[in-house]
């Protein structure tokens, strides 16, 4: 029996099972998308695989009824927690009219859904960072109890938008949680060729905010860090920078061949720390999940994924002239 760490964080057994199920749902949707892509049915996949623990651990530490999420393209775990459904994600993958993100006009991964306060992002990486800072500024000016949660990759933390946004949030003590999902690669560029400092979180001091690096394969560690950052933000103490370290288990996207720049052994080694496996083991060691319950959860998740796939595959495309909508004033 390992130490029960979730109770100390104020998380019930039911809550951690829900976290596990959300992580598993993200993984199974993602795996299905790769099959659909290779079968020629959907054009593009950009994966969350290996980052589910960071995404779900963080999202569970936020208030999904009040807070704003400004996710980046891998954040399936975040948007599922904020209320986007498997069916909606599949509609986006198939680029169908009912896709809530863009009605099938955008590439997958450009999550946006007003009713769930998921703010749409743009394809140039890190542009969501100044947006998150702006939403936090608006919230502060209007006296609202909200924090904004924005994510980005470690490669993207070199982009000016991150530094400008972090500086402004630091100066004005805005309730922003900057979470860098460090997965060790920016397409083919390994971490040691991306940063001259050791940790992305080392950058926080330059912007007058606390910075912390946590194990991105451990949803509980991420939950604790994001909860603390959210509490700080709500108390008016300003922004925080959290770096979650994990590993990208898939190629960069369905259009990438990662064998050209990293060794299969390295990927195999990272798979031994796969958060779906390690968090499942934690739940079993603490007597919260047994083989029977694991199967029940997996069956439930697969049913959702199958139904979402069938629905989206059979759903209609938008009318061709819809492509011109929302582009020019009408
Ligand atoms: C401003 C800008 N430059 C380059 C790209 C092309 N691009 C898309 S994803 C990516 C890598 C980003 O790496 P990282 O931030 O580490 O995120 P990861 O994909 O590893 O999660 C690049 C260079 C882009 N979309 N926007
Ligand atoms: Mg990266």
**Per-domain residue ranges for the chain?**
5-313
Closest to 78 (Cα-Cα) out of 132, 28, 104, 117 = 117
160 lines ligand 1 (CB under 6 A): no
Tokens at 166, concatenated: 């972090």
Question: Cα separation of 80 and 66, whole Å?
Answer: 16
109 lines ligand 1 (CB under 6 A): no
Taking the chain (330 residues) in runs of 10, the rounded mean pLDDT of each run is 87 98 98 98 98 98 97 98 98 97 93 97 96 98 97 98 98 98 98 96 98 98 98 97 98 97 97 98 98 98 98 97 85
Contacts of 190 (CB under 8 A, 6+ apart): 184, 261, 262
Place of tokens 């492509």: 323
Q: Report pLDDT for 323.
A: 87
Q: Report pLDDT for 2.
A: 66
Q: What is the DSSP letter of 198?
A: S
Give domain 5-313's CATH architecture: 3-Layer(aba) Sandwich (3.40)
Which ligand 1 atom sits closest to the C-alpha of 181?
A: 21
CB-based burial label for 272 (10 Å; 0-12, 13-18, 19+):
exposed
Q: Report pLDDT for 325.
A: 86
Strand positions, DSSP E, the chain: 68-70, 148-153, 176-182, 185-186, 189-190, 211-215, 240-245
Closest to 174 (Cα-Cα) out of 145, 205, 136 = 136
Q: Report pLDDT for 225.
A: 98
Q: What is the Cα 39 distance to its own chain's centre?
A: 26
> What is the 185 CA–ligand 2 centroid distance (Å)?
4
For the chain, the farthest-separated pair of C-alpha atoms sits apart, in whole angstroms, at 64
Q: What are the CA-CA distances from residue 315 to residues 44, 59, 92, 96 (Å)?
A: 18, 30, 11, 6
**Is residue 322 annotated as a catalytic residue, yes or no?**
no
Q: What are the CA-CA distances from residue 290 to residues 28, 43, 278, 281, 294 (Å)?
A: 20, 38, 14, 10, 6
> What is the 232 CA–ligand 2 centroid distance (Å)?
27
**Is residue 282 annotated as a catalytic residue, yes or no?**
no
184 lines ligand 1 (CB under 6 A): no
pTM above 0.95, yes or no: yes
> What is the 255 CA–ligand 2 centroid distance (Å)?
16
Q: Report pLDDT for 103.
A: 93
Containing 187, the helix (H) or strand (E) segment is none
Question: Cα separation of 221 and 289, whole Å?
Answer: 20
155 lines ligand 1 (CB under 6 A): yes
């Amino acid at each position: 029996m390992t130490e029960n760490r979730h109770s100390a964080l104020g998380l019930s057994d039911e809550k951690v099972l829900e976290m596990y199920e959300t992580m598993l749902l993200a993984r199974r949707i993602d795996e299905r998308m790769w099959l659909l892509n290779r079968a020629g049915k959907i054009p593009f996949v950009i994966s969350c695989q290996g980052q589910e623990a960071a995404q779900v651990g963080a999202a569970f530490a936020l208030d999904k009824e009040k807070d704003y999420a400004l996710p980046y393209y891998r954040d399936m775990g975040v948007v599922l927690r904020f209320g986007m459904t498997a069916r909606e994600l599949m509609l986006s993958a198939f680029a169908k009219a009912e896709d809530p993100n863009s009605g099938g006009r955008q590439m997958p991964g450009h999550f946006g859904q007003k009713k769930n306060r998921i703010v749409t992002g743009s394809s140039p990486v890190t542009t969501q960072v100044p947006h998150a800072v702006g939403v936090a500024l608006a919230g502060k000016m209007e006296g609202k109890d909200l924090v904004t949660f924005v994510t980005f990759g470690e490669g993207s933390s070199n982009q000016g938008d991150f530094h400008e946004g972090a500086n402004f949030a630091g100066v004005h003590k805005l309730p922003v949680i900057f979470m860098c999902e460090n997965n060790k690669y920016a397409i083919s560029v390994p971490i040691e060729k991306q940063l001259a400092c050791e940790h992305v979180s080392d950058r926080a001091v330059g912007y007058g905010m606390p910075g912390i690096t946590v194990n991105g394969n451990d949803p509980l560690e991420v939950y604790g860090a994001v909860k603390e950052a959210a509490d700080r933000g709500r108390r008016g103490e300003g922004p925080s920078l959290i770096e979650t370290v994990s590993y990208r288990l898939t190629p960069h996207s369905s259009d990438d061949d990662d064998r050209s720049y990293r060794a299969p052994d390295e990927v195999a080694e990272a798979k031994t720390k796969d958060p779906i496996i390690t968090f499942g083991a934690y739940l079993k060691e603490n007597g919260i999940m047994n083989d029977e319950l694991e199967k029940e959860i997996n069956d439930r998740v697969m049913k959702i994924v199958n139904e979402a796939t069938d629905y989206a595959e059979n759903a209609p495309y938008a009318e061709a002239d819809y492509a011109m909508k929302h582009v020019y004033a009408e």
